[in-house]
Amino acid sequence: MIDFKRFCYASVWTILISLLFSMTVFSQSPIYVNINATGANTGDDWENAFTTIQAGIDAANANAVEVWVARGIYYENIQLYGNVALYGGFSGSENERSQRNLSRNQSIIDGSNTWRAVEITGHNIIDGFIVQHGFFAYDDNDDGRGGGIFLEQAHGTIIRKCRVQENLSDRGAIYVSSTEDVLVEYCVVANNHGVVCAGGIELNYSTGIVRQCTIVDNISFGIEIPHREDQLLAVLYNNIVVGNVFNNHPRFAEPLPDNDLYQMAKMSNDHNFIGKIWDYSPIFGDPFNHDNLYGDYDSLTPEFMDHDNGDFHLRYNSPCIGTGRAGTTMGAFPEIVCAISGTVIYWNNDTPMENVLLTVLGNGITDSVHTDNSGFYDLIDLPIINENTMYTITPMQLDTADLNVHITIDDAISVAQYVMNNSSFNEYQTVAADCNRDGVVDMYDAALIARSVHQSTSLYDVGNCVFYPSEKTYNTLMENATDVNFRVVIVGDVDGE
């Protein structure tokens, strides 16, 4: 039987265990994993990294070692065992774990819908991964537990900063079995399918803490804590559990309503946002007496930044801000941030501009990102601002060698006709025609284009790339800004051909 008094202080012990574990793993060099590595496959450094996560785990040999995993999609069904700390979110060049960026460098474990994505035994850490497409259905030997992450005899394991999504099983995207003192924190558990029981997280014959998680849009219960005698099995706080839809499995005699929490065991449930509660056992305490927020009873929504597209950061007006324990914020993303995104394309034919460097400055932030092959960029994790400071977004670099732009004598003629009022220019053509960058389009600009074509050499700025606009600024940014677009203009190419 689980010691009730000991588990009442589980949060303290879990944190201490985590700290002790971290101290141990720092004593050895990490093992490196990068799916794109082409070196000796020894795991000794990024150049010679293993190319599979399982190889990195096996090389740790159940010792207290960190395994660092670079960004990429790893189609694996991994077994994490022993005493290993598995960290994702690296670009493949870092020297310190603090240098990783989970948003930009997504390390994805994809179970390919063939088996559980992750199985864990022993005392481990898994931190900074997307875990998806795990599959584990009912058969004669198992009741289909844990499609995404399955824990058994995994005492003291920590699941942190993971996004567990699009997994299918009978019971739980994260399923904890016969395990004490598990900690799940700062995780998103979304869009998973539980056929019989929990679609999100289920703790069975186990003790644990679930805190600072966002558990949303799963089919079946968001969190399920089955009844196992009069024991404290779970501590839940600062979570957002909403939008989980029950699938009315035939094992239930009557159809059940949508629900987010199925509480039939003794648990501490406080300072959470819970959309709906279907059932709970009153002998273990009324969950409505613990400073929770209830979507249905209180007519509240958590106010996600972009729910439909899976951005579960909170908007500035969310009721979950400041209503967690000790005035903290609920959910996996307690920092209130937003993003600026858009595209960079050529002005006349909408050709996407790849690998353009864009920077954002302001509010103590300096960050940069390159456009992808569709010309898209996304500057993320920007703290909100309201008139007290400014963000400036500037496109800065573009290799014009790949543009295949042709400046011809026709461009010079077009400028001359414009100067003589025989034609009109749009705003992009005006920028392209101002070859000496003096703010005026005149015959001298036409001559510069003609001479550049004749001499096959660029004069002044002819042939150079400029962006329109040259920058964009925001004095107020309280939510995501999309379609913040820039056009590329080549000086002298007034026809855009």
Q: What is the mean pLDDT of residues 428-450?
A: 92
Q: What pLDDT is recorded for position 468?
A: 93
User: Helix, strand or coil for residue 448?
Assistant: helix
- 253 falls in which pLDDT band (50, 70, 90)? very low
Q: What pLDDT is recorded for position 16?
A: 42
Q: What is the mean pLDDT of residues 317-321?
A: 94
Kindly report, residue by residue over 93-111, the tens digit of the pLDDT: 999 999 999 999 999 999 9
Q: What is the mean pLDDT of residues 349-372?
A: 91
Last residue of a domain, one of 307, 327, 347: 327
pLDDT at 425 over 50: yes
Least confident span in 263-277, 313-327, 408-422, 461-475: 263-277
**Domain identity same for 12 and 84:** yes
**Domain identity same for 253 and 352:** no
**Domain identity same for 385 and 276:** no
Q: What pLDDT is recorded for position 272?
A: 86
Residue spans of alpha helices (H) in 362-496: 409-419, 427-433, 443-455
pLDDT at 312 over 80: yes
Q: What is the mean pLDDT of residues 237-265?
A: 63
**Domain identity same for 301 and 342:** no
Q: What pLDDT is recorded for position 282?
A: 52
**Domain identity same for 345 and 316:** no
- 465 falls in which pLDDT band (50, 70, 90)? confident
Contact 162, 126 (CB under 8 A): yes
Range of the domain at 446: 337-497
Last residue of a domain, one of 327, 348, 376: 327
User: Helix, strand or coil for residue 20?
Assistant: helix
User: Helix, strand or coil for residue 149?
Assistant: strand
Hunting for tokens 């790849």 — which residue is that? 354
CATH number at 495 reads 2.60.40.10
Kindly report, residue by residue over 466-477, the tens digit of the pLDDT: 999 999 999 889
341 part of a folded domain: yes
pLDDT at 140 over 60: no
CA nearest neighbour of 295 among 284, 286, 304: 304
CA nearest neighbour of 383 among 239, 479, 240, 483: 479
What region does 133 belong to: left with phi over 0, alpha with psi -120 to 50, or beta? left
Q: What pLDDT is recorded for position 233?
A: 76
> Could you tell me the two tokens for 170?
């009978």
The set of long-range contacts for 280-287, using a CB threshold of 8 Å and a minimum separation of 24, is: 281/227, 283/230, 284/230, 287/261, 287/263
pLDDT at 428 over 90: yes
- 141 falls in which pLDDT band (50, 70, 90)? low
**Domain identity same for 181 and 80:** yes
Q: What pLDDT is recorded for position 96?
A: 95
332 part of a folded domain: no
pTM (2 decimals)?
0.84
Highest mean pLDDT (candidates 23-37, 157-171, 382-396, 458-472): 157-171
- Please report the DSSP string for 314-369 in residue order: EPTT-TTTT-SGGG---SS--S-EEEEEEEEEETTT--B-TT-EEEEEETTEEEEE
Last residue of a domain, one of 327, 345, 362: 327
**Domain identity same for 419 and 307:** no
**Domain identity same for 307 and 353:** no
**Domain identity same for 205 and 350:** no
Q: What pLDDT is recorded for position 21?
A: 44
276 part of a folded domain: yes
CATH number at 206 reads 2.160.20
Q: How far apart are CA 240 and CA 226, in angstroms?
A: 20
* Mean pLDDT of all residues belonging to the chain: 84
**Domain identity same for 464 and 493:** yes
Give percent of the chain with pLDDT exceeding 70.
Answer: 82
The beta-strand segments (E) located in 128-272 are 130-132, 135-136, 138-139, 142-143, 149-152, 158-160, 163-165, 168-169, 174-177, 182-185, 188-190, 193-194, 201-204, 208-211, 214-216, 223-225, 232-237, 240-242, 261-263, 266-270
Kindly report, residue by residue over 281-301, the tens digit of the pLDDT: 554 455 555 678 877 777 889
**Domain identity same for 356 and 284:** no
Q: How many domains does the chain have?
A: 2
**Domain identity same for 364 and 314:** no
Highest mean pLDDT (candidates 248-257, 337-346, 452-461): 337-346
Q: What pLDDT is recorded for position 56?
A: 96
